[in-house]
């Protein structure tokens, strides 16, 4: 049953049709946007006219006082007032005004005019209905506070909360600056398949689908890593991609099952080279988009300027535990995990994995300023070269942290095909309990067996970088359409109850 507001809107729609007006015309010639007009005519005096322009947008407010009327209209750049005055504005525009509701999209042709009270406006000469809305907008101050509704119906969030639009405009600028930096450094922007016969390059549970053409199972990409390394084998020295990854995992402040990341690989460098490149790139993007390396995030001032601090995982954890981690046996580490209620799956009860879990528990929250954590236990990934410091125990891996959260992950990339197979075999059961153990990718092993140059590579979560640069508290705030729990239809609720 429709409410009174919907009925009133439909009645006004019918009035337009009855009067011969098409409420859904095909086009309108926009010649300027509100922000540009307001900036261009800032010096226009009260009751003074300027040139004629065409502006279109959504009606956010309507006031009528008989001889004069006002429409507050929002376009993609901001808001502008349409001003109507008997004697100066044609009667047909006043007639159309009677059928205009909040939420309708209208176009105006008129002269720039500053009202007696000093508001820069467009004096209406011609007013057109461009789209008659049927559903009412939320009430301005109380109608769109529910966070879930705002994220589920992002289009309403963008209409009602202009500051949200600014976040997504900045997101686009961040990704553009990111690509600009890499392009200028000679990297090639490439694409990898989203549907893959094997999944790998990360520890994650995949989404599966079925190919009708090949009558077989395919997986949505969890990481572009193994494909980008194939390109290094093929002779490209610098490659990157900005892509979607899909990981069938829980949703929280920094995780969305579908997310955007960038991975980039450079031949003939190592972890130190790729760390330097990454921190320079983040600094470049911050300055390009915000004009400074300093950001305020959740009340903390963070400086993204390179170089970033570096710490070793075992040293940082050892400081918390009060003893040298290298000498601690697995059982002692597991006892600490049990005491601290750190969950360790049966398949993951290996020395290096427990160390990494305890580091996450004890140390991550302290890493507010940009910090590289280096020298990881070898069990944490099979894709990384052994450490030059301790090749039996550690690997040349890093994770970059900002505000207590991991933002990127990088390696001196393993290019020994025999050792690569050995590491894959040793770690094949890790993550099995959660379905996160990828199958052996024989084609990838074949590829690096042909010879992959020494290289450094990093994967960085762009959504998380956008969060920091826009002071957004959750990843859902920087993704236009985050994954949401499906809504239950009314008939399903009745049936279940």
All structural domains of the chain, each given as residue ranges with its CATH number in brackets, are 4-131 (2.40.50.140), 162-308+369-478 (3.30.930.10)
pLDDT at residue 148, as a whole number: 82
pLDDT at residue 45, as a whole number: 96
Q: Rounded to the nearest 5°, which phi and psi values hold at 174?
A: -65, -50
pLDDT at residue 189, as a whole number: 98
Cα dist from 351 to 42, 132, 299, 336, 469, whole Å: 67, 65, 37, 13, 36
Does this model's pTM top 0.85?
Answer: yes
Cis bond before residue 307 (omega within 30° of 0): yes
**How are strands ordered across the β-sheet holding 258-267?**
188-189, 238-246, 258-267, 455-461, 405-412, 394-402, 371-377, 309-312
Of 64, 55, 33, nearest to 106 (Cα)?
A: 55
Residue carrying structure tokens 């084998």 = 233
- Other CB atoms closer than 10 Å to residue 451's CB: what's the count? 10
Report CA torsion sign: 467, 473, 479, 482: positive
pLDDT at residue 143, as a whole number: 47
**Coil, helix or strand at residue 220:** strand
Q: Across the 497 residues of the chain, what is the mean pLDDT of every consecutive 10-residue run?
A: 86 97 98 97 96 98 94 97 95 96 98 96 98 90 67 91 94 98 98 95 94 95 98 98 95 94 98 98 98 97 98 98 97 97 93 98 98 98 97 98 98 98 93 84 97 98 98 96 81 52
Q: What DSSP character marks residue 186? A: T
CA 172 to chain centre: 9
Residue carrying structure tokens 């226009």 = 44
Q: Roughly what angle, to the nearest 10 degrees, separates helices 351-362 and 330-339?
A: 40
CA 448 to chain centre: 32
Which long-range contacts (C-beta less than 8 Å, at least 24 apart) are formed by 233-236?
A: 233/447, 233/448, 233/450, 233/451, 233/452, 236/188, 236/190, 236/267
């Amino acid at each position: 049953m429709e409410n009174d507001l919907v009925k009133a809107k439909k009645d006004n729609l019918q009035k337009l049709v009855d009067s011969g007006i098409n409420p859904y015309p095909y086009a309108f010639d926009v010649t300027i946007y509100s922000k540009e007009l307001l900036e261009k005519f800032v010096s226009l005096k009260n009751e003074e006219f300027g040139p004629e322009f065409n502006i279109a947008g959504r009606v956010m407010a309507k006031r009528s006082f008989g001889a004069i009327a006002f429409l507050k209209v929002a376009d993609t750049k901001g808001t502008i007032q349409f001003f109507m005055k008997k004697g100066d504005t044609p009667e047909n525009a006043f007639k159309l005004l009677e059928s205009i509701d909040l939420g309708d999209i209208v176009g105006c042709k008129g002269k720039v005019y500053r009202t007696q009270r000093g508001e820069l406006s467009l004096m209406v000469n011609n007013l057109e209905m461009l789209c008659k809305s049927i559903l009412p907008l939320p009430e301005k101050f109380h109608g769109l506070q529910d966070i879930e509704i705002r994220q589920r119906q992002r289009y309403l969030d963008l209409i009602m909360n202009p500051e949200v639009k600014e976040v997504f405009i900045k997101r686009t600028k961040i990704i553009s600056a990111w690509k600009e930096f890499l392009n200028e450094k000679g990297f090639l922007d490439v694409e990898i398949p989203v549907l893959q016969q094997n999944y790998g390059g990360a520890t994650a549970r995949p989404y599966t689908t079925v190919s009708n053409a090949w009558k077989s199972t395919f997986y949505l990409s969890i990481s572009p890593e193994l494909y980008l390394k194939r390109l290094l084998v093929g002779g490209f020295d610098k490659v990157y991609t900005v892509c979607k990854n899909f990981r069938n995992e829980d949703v929280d402040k920094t995780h969305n099952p579908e997310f955007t990341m960038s991975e980039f690989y450079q031949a003939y460098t190592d972890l130190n080279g790729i760390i330097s490149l990454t921190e320079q790139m983040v600094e470049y993007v911050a300055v390009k988009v915000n004009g400074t390396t300093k950001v305020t995030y959740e009340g903390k001032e963070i400086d993204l300027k390179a170089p970033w601090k570096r710490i070793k995982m075992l040293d940082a954890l050892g400081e918390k535990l009060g003893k040298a981690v290298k000498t601690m046996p697995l059982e002692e580490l597991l006892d600490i995990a049990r005491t601290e209620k750190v969950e360790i799956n049966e398949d993951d009860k290996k020395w290096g994995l427990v160390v990494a879990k305890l580091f996450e528990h004890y140390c991550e929250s302290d890493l507010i300023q940009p910090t590289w954590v280096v020298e990881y236990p070898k069990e944490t990934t099979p894709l990384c070269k052994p450490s030059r410091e301790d090749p039996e125990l550690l690997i040349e891996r890093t994770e970059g942290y900002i505000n207590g959260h991991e933002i990127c992950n990088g390696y001196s990339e393993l290019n020994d095909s025999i050792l690569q197979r050995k590491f894959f075999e040793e770690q094949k059961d890790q993550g099995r309990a959660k379905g996160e153990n990828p199958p052996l990718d024989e084609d990838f092993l074949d590829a690096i067996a042909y010879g992959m140059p020494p290289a450094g590579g990093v994967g960085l979560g762009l959504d998380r970088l956008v969060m920091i640069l826009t002071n957004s508290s959750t990843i859902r705030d920087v993704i236009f359409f985050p994954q949401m729990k499906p809504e239950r239809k009314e008939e399903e609720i009745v049936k279940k109850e």
